[in-house]
Structure 1
Amino acid sequence: MGVSRATDQAFDFHMPVVVVGAGAAGLTAALAARDAGAEVLLLERDPHPRGSTSMSQGYACAAGTKIQREQGIEDGSETFFADIMARTKGTADPVVARTVADNAGETIDWLVERHAIPFRLNISWAGFFGHSVNRMHGVPSRTGEELHGSLIRAAEEAGVTLVTGAHVDEVYADADGTVRGVRIQRRDGGVEKVGCDALVLTTCGFGANHEMVRKFIPSFGTAPYYRYFGHEGNDGEGIQWGVELGGALGCMDAYQGYGALAEPYGIIVNYDMVMQGAITVNTLGERFSNENADISAQALNILRQPDGIGWIIFDDERRALVEDLPEYRELASLGAVRTAETSDALAALIKVPADALRRTLDDVERLTKGEITCPFGRDFTRHPPLSGRLHALKTTGALFHTQGGLKVDAGARVLREDGTPLPNLLAGGGTACSISGNGVDGYLPAAGLATAITLGRLAGATAAGLAAA
C-alpha cells in the first residue's frame, strides 16, 4: 500500500481531477475545479463525510471580505500577513502565509456569492490570540457541521461526483512523480482503479497517528496526559504519499491545541466567556496561566497541572454569552456544569481547597479594579469581576489538529526539497503545511479552516488547469 511506480497500470475509468478527502479543503477544491470546467471525482473514506471540519466550530479567518466592509471593519492582506508572521515569530512558511493572507478574503466572498455558503461575522475576537481585527467568519449556528453540510450541498449542486465509503489505499505514479491514478477500496470489498490528470490530496493531518505525533511533536506526544480530540481518520496517509512521491515537509511540529475540552465528555467549551472575564484554576484552586494569552498553548498549560485538569470558573453574566450555543446546551444537559451560590460551596462541589479558591477569586476581583498586577500578565480591567452565583466546568487540554504537512507553492502544488513542483500533485487542508509556524503557540484561531478553504480553492483551480493542458 502507498505509492506504486507501475507505469503501465490499467485503469477502470478516467477522471480529469481526483480529490481525496471530503472535508472543507477537498470540497472547496472540487468546487473550484468544477467552476473552472473540469470533471471532478471526490473520494471520501468514511460512509458519511465528517472529519475535522464537522468537529470544528466552523470559523475561518479572512481579511478584506465584503462582510467585513459592510460592518465597517478595515482589514486587508497586509494586516493579516503581519498578524500571521507576528504570531509565529516569523517562522510561518512565507509563501503559504502570503498566499492565505492574499486569497482567504476572496475565497470567503466566492463561497458566499457563488455557492451560497452562509458566512457571517459572528463574534468579536479583535485583539485576542493574535488577530488585530475581527476577521472570524462563521456560519449562523457556529458549528462545523453546518459549514460542512453547506459545502456538501454546494458540491452536489455544482455537479461534483462525491463517492463515500471509498478508501484510496494506493497512488500510481511515474518515476518522475507524475501521478497516473489511484486505487479505491470499497467498504464492500470491491476495488476500482481510477486514472487522473491531476490529484489533490486533502486527507487531513496526522493527529490520530501516535507514532507520527511522537516523532514530529515530542512536546505533546510524550506529555504525561496526552489527549487527542480529532477525527480518527487523521492518520497522515496523504502526507506520507506526498513524501513517497518526492514532496518536502514543512513545520511538522506545528499543531493546534485547545485548553478547554470538557472532561470527560469530549465536548468543546466555548472560550467566549474566558475571553470576557472567566478564569481557569487547577485542582489546587489556583490560577496557573494567562488564560487569554494563547488559546492553543493553553492546552499544554493545563496538561502540566495535577492530573492534567483545570476548572473554568464563571458567573451568570459570562454564562449568558454561551448558554444558547449547542456545545454548552449539551454540557448542561449532561450535568457537566457545577453551580453554587458561594465560592466555598463551589469548592466543595469540584473538590478543590475552599481557602485557595476564595483567595483566587478575591485576587481576581482586585485585578479587575487594578489594585494588583496579574503574575501571568493578563489584563482583567476591561471586564467586571465575577459576582453572584458561580459555575464551573471541568476541562483538559488536547491536540486538536496538526498544522505541518507537505510544502506547497502559491498554486497549492506540492514542492520537492529543491523547491520545484511535482508535475500534477496538489495538497490542501491538513495535508499541506499551514500558516502556524513551529510548535503550538503560532496558531491563530480559525487558521486551520482558513488555510483549508484557501489552499483548497487554489488547488482545485490549478488542478483544472493541469487537466486541461
Structure 2
Amino acid sequence: MGIVAFSEGDEFDVHLPLVIIGAGACGLVAGLAAMECETDVVVLERDALPRGSTSMSQGFIPAAGTRFQAEKGVEDSAELMARDIQHKNGDEADPAIVAALADYSGRVIEWLADTHGVPFDLVEGFLYPGHSAMRMHATPRRTGEELMGCLLNAAEAVGLDILTQARVVDLHVDAGKRVRGITLERPDGSHESIGCDALILACNGYGGNPELVAKHIPSLKHALYYGHEGNQGDALLWGEAIGASLKDLGACQGHGSLATPHQTLISWALMMRGGVQVNGEGQRFSNEHGGYSEQAAKVLAQPGQVAWNLFDERIHQAALEFEDYRNAEQGGAVRTFGSLAEMAEGLGLPLPALESTFTEMHTLAEHGEADGFGRTFAAETLLVPPYRAIKVTGALFHTQGGLEVDTEARVVDAAGEKLPNLFAAGGAARGVSGSNDSGYLSGNGLLSAVVMGAIAGREAARELKRHGS
C-alpha cells in the first residue's frame, strides 16, 4: 500500500472525474454534494456494507441557526458555535476552518433534511459539556446506524455509485503531486484501477492502527478501541508520502462511558442530568461535566481501569430515548438498587466512602458551592433512590488529527500551498479539536465529517467544472 509514480502513458481500467475513498457519513455526503453539481462520481468502500465510524456513534451533528432550533425556541448563531468550539480546544484549531464549519452547518442539516429526506430533529433536555445552546441534530432513534441508513437511502435515490468490497491500496501520483488515479483490491486478491481528475479522502483516521496510536496518543495506547477497524491511517500515510502538511495528530475523541463488558456506548446525558462516576473505592475522581473525551484517560487511571456510572430513576427514564441505552439495559448492563447500602454491597464498594460521596453532593447543593473538581450540584438533580449503576471503562473512539486542509477542503503542503487535486474531510483531515483529548467538543467528529464532507464534494465538483472535467 502506498504511492505509485505515475508516468504519461500509464493507463487505467476506467476513468471518472471524481473518486471518493470511504462511504461513511463523510464520503456519502461528499458524493451527494458533488452530484448536485452534475459531476460523475464513485464512492469506494472497503467493507461489504458501508458503516464506518458513523455507525458506531450516536449520530449527533451540531449545527447553528437551523429551523429545527427555531421551532423549539432555541437561539443560536454560527458565531456562538465557533466560540464554543475554540473555547473547548484552547484556540488551537484553525479559526478559518472553525468559522466555515459553523457557518455552513445549519445549511447542510437543512439541505440533508429537505433535499434528501434525513429526518432530523433537535436533541433537547440537556447541554453537552461546552455547548452554549442546544444544537445537536439527530435522527429519531439517536443512533449513527440510523443516520447511515438515511444517507444510504439518499444515495440510492439519486443514483450515487457506491462500489463496496473495494479496498484502495495505492494512489497514482505524478511528479507535480497530482493524483491521477487509484488501485483497489477485491476480496479475492484481484486488482482494478480507476483514473480520476480529483480525489476526496473520506476514509477516517488511524484509531485502529495501534502503532500510530502509541506514537501520537501514548496516553490512550492501552485504551479499548471502540471504532471501525478500517481506520488504519491510510489517508494520513498517503498524504505524508505526497508531502501534505499533517496537524494535531495527538487530537482524538475518547469516551469515559463505555459499558463493560458489554461494549455499549452510554450517553453522557446521564452525567449532564445529574449522574456521577465513582471508582472502586466509592469515590468520585473528576468533574463529570468537564467533557467525556478527556474522561476516558481519567477512568483508565482508576483501579482496574473501570468506574461506575451512578444515577437514578429520573435519569434512567430520560435515557430511554437513546437506543444504545435501551440496548445496554436489555443486555443487563443497568443494575438497580433500593438504597446506598444495597448498592455498596451489590457493586462491592465500601459503604462509608459511598455515603460520604453522596453526603458531600447534598452539602454542596445546600450551600451552592463547587467541589474540589469545580462541579456544582443543584438540589433538583441530586440522586434519590432507587439508584441505577453501570460499570464502564474508557475508550478511544476516533482520532481528530490528520491532513491539513483549507476552507475548501483542499489538502495543503507544509508551505500552505494547495495540492493540485486532493481533498480531505472527516477523520482524514485535521479537525477542530486542538492537539489532544481535552479539546474535543461533543459532535466535532460528525461536524467535520458531514459539513466538511459537503464542502469537499461541492468544491471538488466546482474545481472540475472550472477545468472542464
Q: Give the TM-score taking structure 1 as reference length.
A: 0.96
User: Which residue in the other structure is 2:115 paired with?
Assistant: 114
The question of 1:342 aligning with 2:343 is answered no
User: Which residue in the other structure is 1:130 paired with?
Assistant: 130
User: Which residue in the other structure is 1:54 paired with?
Assistant: 55
Q: SS of the counterpart of 1:253?
A: coil
Residue from 343, 348, 356 that aligns with 2:353: 356
Within a 5 Å distance, the mapping from 1:78-227 to structure 2 comes to: 78-126=79-127, 128-221=128-221, 225-227=222-224
Within a 5 Å distance, the mapping from 1:274-293 to structure 2 comes to: 274-293=271-290
> What's the CA shift string for 1:318-376, capped at 9, x where partnerless?
11111343222222222222222111111111111121112112222222323664111
Amino acid at match of 1:26: G
Consecutive aligned runs of 4 or more in structure 1 exceeding 3 Å deviation: none
The change in CA–CA distance for 1:294 and 1:46 in structure 2 (over 3 A counts) is same
Q: Is the 8 A contact 2:28 2:152 kept in 1?
A: yes
User: Whole-Å Cα distance in 1 between the matches of residues 155 and 259 of structure 2?
Assistant: 34
Q: Is the 8 A contact 1:256 1:443 kept in 2?
A: yes
User: Which residue in the other structure is 2:366 paired with?
Assistant: 369
User: Whole-Å Cα distance in 1 between the matches of residues 460 and 29 of structure 2?
Assistant: 12
- Once the 2 structures are TM-superposed, how far is the Cα of residue 25 of structure 1 from its aligned partner? 0.6
Q: Is the 8 A contact 2:309 2:389 kept in 1?
A: yes
- Once the 2 structures are TM-superposed, how far is the Cα of residue 94 of structure 1 from its aligned partner? 1.9
The change in CA–CA distance for 1:372 and 1:238 in structure 2 (over 3 A counts) is closer
User: Which residue in the other structure is 2:302 paired with?
Assistant: 305
Q: SS of the counterpart of 2:367?
A: coil
Q: Is the 8 A contact 2:270 2:319 kept in 1?
A: yes
User: Which residue in the other structure is 1:258 paired with?
Assistant: 255
Q: Which moved more, 1:188-197 or 1:68-77?
A: 68-77
Q: SS of the counterpart of 1:172?
A: strand
User: Which residue in the other structure is 2:74 paired with?
Assistant: 73
User: Which residue in the other structure is 1:413 paired with?
Assistant: 410
Q: Give the TM-score taking structure 2 as reference length.
A: 0.96
- Once the 2 structures are TM-superposed, how far is the Cα of residue 215 of structure 1 from its aligned partner? 1.2
User: Whole-Å Cα distance in 1 between the matches of residues 78 and 229 of structure 2?
Assistant: 34
User: Whole-Å Cα distance in 1 between the matches of residues 368 and 407 of structure 2?
Assistant: 50
Q: How many pairs does the alignment contain?
A: 465
User: Which residue in the other structure is 2:423 paired with?
Assistant: 426
The change in CA–CA distance for 1:386 and 1:420 in structure 2 (over 3 A counts) is same
Amino acid at match of 1:158: V
User: Which residue in the other structure is 1:31 paired with?
Assistant: 32
User: Whole-Å Cα distance in 2 between the matches of residues 72 and 342 of structure 1?
Assistant: 39
Amino acid at match of 1:246: G
- Once the 2 structures are TM-superposed, how far is the Cα of residue 317 of structure 1 from its aligned partner? 1.3
User: Whole-Å Cα distance in 1 between the matches of residues 408 and 379 of structure 2?
Assistant: 43
- Once the 2 structures are TM-superposed, how far is the Cα of residue 255 of structure 1 from its aligned partner? 0.5
- Once the 2 structures are TM-superposed, how far is the Cα of residue 266 of structure 1 from its aligned partner? 0.8
User: Whole-Å Cα distance in 2 between the matches of residues 382 and 444 of structure 1?
Assistant: 27
User: Whole-Å Cα distance in 2 between the matches of residues 160 and 330 of structure 1?
Assistant: 33
The question of 1:460 aligning with 2:453 is answered no
- Once the 2 structures are TM-superposed, how far is the Cα of residue 78 of structure 1 from its aligned partner? 1.2
Amino acid at match of 1:442: G
User: Whole-Å Cα distance in 2 between the matches of residues 79 and 383 of structure 1?
Assistant: 28
Q: Is the 8 A contact 1:254 1:403 kept in 2?
A: yes
Q: Is the 8 A contact 2:205 2:428 kept in 1?
A: yes
Q: SS of the counterpart of 1:48?
A: coil
User: Which residue in the other structure is 2:398 paired with?
Assistant: 401
Q: Is the 8 A contact 2:366 2:379 kept in 1?
A: no
The change in CA–CA distance for 1:21 and 1:363 in structure 2 (over 3 A counts) is same
User: Which residue in the other structure is 1:269 paired with?
Assistant: 266
Q: SS of the counterpart of 2:225?
A: coil
Percent identity for Structure 1 against Structure 2: 43
5+ long unaligned stretches in structure 1: none
Q: Which moved more, 1:117-126 or 1:402-411?
A: 117-126
The question of 1:22 aligning with 2:19 is answered no
Q: SS of the counterpart of 2:84?
A: helix
- Once the 2 structures are TM-superposed, how far is the Cα of residue 216 of structure 1 from its aligned partner? 1.2
Q: SS of the counterpart of 1:449?
A: helix
User: Whole-Å Cα distance in 1 between the matches of residues 84 and 382 of structure 2?
Assistant: 30
Amino acid at match of 2:178: T
Q: SS of the counterpart of 2:293?
A: coil
Amino acid at match of 1:152: L
- Once the 2 structures are TM-superposed, how far is the Cα of residue 382 of structure 1 from its aligned partner? 5.9
- Once the 2 structures are TM-superposed, how far is the Cα of residue 281 of structure 1 from its aligned partner? 0.2
User: Which residue in the other structure is 2:3 paired with?
Assistant: 3
Q: Is the 8 A contact 1:370 1:381 kept in 2?
A: no
Amino acid at match of 2:286: S
User: Whole-Å Cα distance in 1 between the matches of residues 117 and 368 of structure 2?
Assistant: 51
The change in CA–CA distance for 1:371 and 1:447 in structure 2 (over 3 A counts) is closer
Q: Is the 8 A contact 1:368 1:384 kept in 2?
A: no
User: Whole-Å Cα distance in 2 between the matches of residues 107 and 332 of structure 1?
Assistant: 34
User: Whole-Å Cα distance in 2 between the matches of residues 20 and 228 of structure 1?
Assistant: 22
Q: Is the 8 A contact 1:122 1:140 kept in 2?
A: no
User: Which residue in the other structure is 2:237 paired with?
Assistant: 240
User: Whole-Å Cα distance in 1 between the matches of residues 168 and 94 of structure 2?
Assistant: 29
User: Whole-Å Cα distance in 1 between the matches of residues 235 and 117 of structure 2?
Assistant: 29
- Once the 2 structures are TM-superposed, how far is the Cα of residue 6 of structure 1 from its aligned partner? 2.4
Q: SS of the counterpart of 1:183?
A: strand
Q: Is the 8 A contact 1:338 1:350 kept in 2?
A: no
Q: Is the 8 A contact 2:123 2:134 kept in 1?
A: no
Amino acid at match of 2:392: T
User: Which residue in the other structure is 1:439 paired with?
Assistant: 436
User: Whole-Å Cα distance in 2 between the matches of residues 124 and 319 of structure 1?
Assistant: 13
Amino acid at match of 1:135: R
Amino acid at match of 1:156: E
- Once the 2 structures are TM-superposed, how far is the Cα of residue 220 of structure 1 from its aligned partner? 2.1
